[in-house]
Amino acid sequence: MRPVHTVTVALTGASGLPYGLRLIDCLIQAGTRVWVLSSQAAQVVARQEMQLSLPSRPAELRDWLAERSGATPGQLEAFGREEWFAPVASGSNPADAMVVCPCSMGTLAAIAHGMSDNLIERAADVTIKEGRRLILVPRETPLSVIHLENMLKLARLGTVILPPAPGFYTHPQSVDDMVDFIVARILDQLGVAHTLLPRWGEQGGEQADAS
């Protein structure tokens, strides 16, 4: 896996916005540069799930996320849905990896079929064609045949499909613990160091799912 210095994080309208915001915080704390994309539906989810008013203007979103995460100047940037001159829109300047978290089934379908109607879809398309790591965190249940076929198509292209299904062998004591379980898995896929959970074989990680 190539070193990860810059990660694009896209927030879409699926349930699970706490995962995406926590991921941004952890990436910033790890010293990673983060480029943030956000859909209009993500603003609705923010109000519904977290009682947050997610700024719609990219500059305001950047400032809000930077203050929240403690980002240093230039470490975090946000781009609008039709900002076609953003770095993520071109294979000449892609991020090292991209995470769509949470990922709506509409966004997943658009990516699977090569759509580029907005910057999130275009950035994902660029990530795939440039052979960079793409991680999708889809939150839907049950899954239809359409959903599964789209996921399979993307998995065959090397995309990581990472449903936010927390394990309980770590004995979570709060919703935050369950969020951290998923964020830890995303960071592992990115190769970004963290201490959110104990490693298997370490104290507190001695129980696991039976296979």
Ordered by start, the domain boundaries in the chain are: 10-190
Residue for token digits 């995406």? 20
Looking at the predicted structure, is the pLDDT value of residue 204 above 90? Answer: no
pLDDT of residue 201: 80
192-203 tens-digit pLDDT:
999 999 888 876
pLDDT of residue 3: 80
| Binding site as annotated, residues | 13-15, 39, 104-107, 139, 169, 185
> pLDDT-derived band of residue 70, with 50, 70 and 90 as boundaries?
very high
CB atoms < 10 A from the CB of 184, how many?
A: 22
Kindly state the tokens that stand for 205.
Answer: 């990680």
**What is the mean predicted confidence (pLDDT) over 112-139?**
97
pLDDT of residue 209: 55
CATH of 10-190, one of 3.40.50.1950, 3.20.130.10, 3.40.50.1980, 3.40.190.10: 3.40.50.1950
14-61 tens-digit pLDDT:
999 999 999 999 999 999 999 999 999 999 999 999 999 999 999 999
96-118 tens-digit pLDDT:
999 999 999 999 999 999 999 99
> pLDDT-derived band of residue 83, with 50, 70 and 90 as boundaries?
very high
Please state, in angstroms and rounded to a whole number, the distance separating the CA atoms of residues 79 and 38: 8
% of the chain residues with pLDDT over 90: 91
**What is the mean predicted confidence (pLDDT) over 178-204?**
91
Q: What are the CA-CA distances from residue 81 to residues 56, 114, 116, 184 (Å)?
A: 10, 17, 11, 27
By CB atoms closer than 10 A (0-12, 13-18, 19+), residue 53 is exposed
| Binding site as annotated, residues for FMN | 13-15, 39, 104-107, 139
CA angle 48, 54, 57 (to 5 degrees): 145
pLDDT of residue 129: 97
> pLDDT-derived band of residue 211, with 50, 70 and 90 as boundaries?
low
| Binding site as annotated, residues for dimethylallyl phosphate | 169, 185
Q: What are the CA-CA distances from residue 96 to residues 30, 51, 133 (Å)?
A: 15, 32, 7
